[in-house]
Amino acid sequence: MRFFLRNFSSIFISLVLAVLVWVAAVREQDPSREGEYARPIPIEVIPPAEGLTNTALLPEAVRLRLLAPESSWTTLSPSQFTATADLSQQPVGARDIPVTVTTTDPYVKVVEQLPSVVSINIEPLKTMTLPVEIDVLDSPPLGYINRTPTANPSEVAITGPVSQVDQVVEALTEVFIRNSKETVRASREVEARDGEGRLVRGVTVNPLLVAIIVPIEQRFGYKDVSVRVNLDGQVAPGYRVSNIRVDPPTLTVVGNPKGLAQIAGLVETAPVNLDRATKSIVRTVPLNLPDGVTTVVSEQEKNGPEGVQVTVEITPIEDGINLQRPITQQGIDPDYWWQAAPDEVSVFLSGPLTQLQSLRASDVEVLVDLFNLEPGVHILQPTVFKPDGLRLDAIVPDTIEITIGRAVTRPVQQTGLNSRYTWRVSPNNINVRLSGDANRLKLLQPREVEAQLNLDGLQPGAYPLQPTIIVPDGLNVASLLPETVTVTIDLKPELRGTASLTPTVSPASATPPAKKDVVQP
């Protein structure tokens, strides 16, 4: 112990010298090197406290200059470093804060970092709610009008720094009609705009997408119609009509109600004389319009009210045929009735002559798809089903006006029958075809429709009578099937032979007077 105390200084110096020698040896075997680390280190931003936000743009990464042994340089990776900008304790205002860099390797030293500080600007968050404003950027075609558009949802929340949110005066979305003749439905993004209509950045809109509906309606006194070309004569032998085009294929006409009522979904051109033609015919052809009805022509259309441009393509025969075929349908709701105008079309087919010679008209079907269509008037393109090997060259007209309404079957009831008589009716039920408001038709209950016969004053006998149909307001009777029923009136069996009968009145005098608040087809 005394020896250790007397020689403590010498032992300590020897130990220090030994450590220094070991360190020198290690450094010589694994020397340290200072240099730029090639890979950037992402900056992790700890956000401000709740209700605050940073509006300054922060760098995404830092660059490092390191001092490290060679053995550490060879194993360095970005995952060994953490660069942090902590905004969680920062108050409102602008200032510089440090970027803190740490490493998991104790032998690596950060000599320099760029940037070492970042500039921040802390502001309070603000949220406000604004109604969605819809800007319709164009107009519907002539003869149509767009009603006030709606958005779903009708309001959005604008959130962001108070300095940005305070600039927002409207939440705006834009939509194009693009010449549509039907209600426009679209999803559009909502933008936050300032008082001068400029986009305000740095805010969020929730929800960003809204559903836009722009109702498009036809103006009173206007009607869309198809154009059918009236062909006269025949092409030269060995040639055929391979296609017929009309420009425009549909028109909007305007006129008085009486004139428009004469147009059942289409108008015809004046006759186009084929005159043994051997080449295609292109000409402007007048339209056969009722008195008081004219076409509506936009500024972009070349053809004036005098007619339409008709192109009849004539080609050498392979062989062709023109069939008049009725319009059929598929998919209509069983509670609905339908009517096509026109009820038949011209189908132009071509193909091998032998196949055409054996072709039956029933082999060709013209079909319109009414699946999911609601009551009202629809302009549809029919589909032609034909045997394989034949080509469809044209269908005239190529669009059909389809009217859909509600059909209900109702029992025939009577009022006013003398208590001494019995009655029977044939048939017992009639089919009532209704038109009118689409929503009212969909919700209609059959019991809301009544078919009544007024037998007041009628004597025993047989009478053909037309029932009086009572329907709710807003609906009209389009037709009855059958239109008349046969009513037979007899004296009750227990009274027969006890009373003299008045002679049977004639059917003409048996027709009952129309009642108030009823509809007769």
Domain locations in the chain as residue ranges: 1-28, 32-115, 124-218, 224-314, 318-398, 405-510
Architecture of domain 405-510: Beta Complex (2.170)
CA 475, 478, 481 angle in degrees (round to 5)? 125
Residue with tokens 């075609």: 141
Q: pTM for the whole thing?
A: 0.44
Q: Please compute, for residue 494, the number of CA atoms within 13 A of its CA located in the half-sphere on the CB side.
A: 2
> CB neighbours of 166 closer than 8 A, spacing ≥ 6?
126
CA dist 323 and 393 (Å) reads 12
CA dist 454 and 444 (Å) reads 25
Strand spans (E) along 233-280: 239-247, 250-255, 266-269, 272-273
Q: What's the topology of domain 32-115?
A: RNA Polymerase Alpha Subunit; Chain A, domain 2 (2.170.120)
**CATH number at 224-314:** 2.170.120.40
CA dist 345 and 397 (Å) reads 6
Strand spans (E) along 390-473: 391-396, 400-415, 421-426, 429-436, 450-454, 461-465, 468-470
Q: Are 480 and 465 in contact (CB under 8 A)?
A: no
3-state helix/strand/coil string of 211-239: EEEECEEECCCEEEEEEECCEECCCCCCE
Q: What is the pLDDT along the chain (521 residues), one digit of tens a residue?
A: 666 566 666 666 767 666 665 555 455 556 888 899 989 999 999 999 999 999 899 999 999 999 989 888 888 899 999 999 999 999 999 999 999 999 998 889 999 999 999 999 999 999 999 999 999 999 888 778 899 999 999 999 999 999 999 999 999 999 999 888 889 999 999 999 999 999 999 899 999 999 999 999 877 778 888 899 999 999 888 788 989 999 988 888 888 877 888 888 888 899 999 988 989 999 999 988 888 888 876 444 444 456 899 999 998 778 889 999 999 999 999 899 999 999 999 999 988 777 888 899 999 999 999 998 989 899 999 999 999 989 999 999 999 999 999 999 999 999 999 989 999 999 999 999 999 888 888 888 999 999 999 999 899 999 999 999 999 988 999 899 999 999 999 998 888 765 554 444 444 434 444 433 444 44
* Chain CA centroid to CA 79, Å: 51
318-398 has CATH 2.70.70.10 classification: no
CA dist 284 and 228 (Å) reads 14
**CATH number at 124-218:** 2.170.120.40
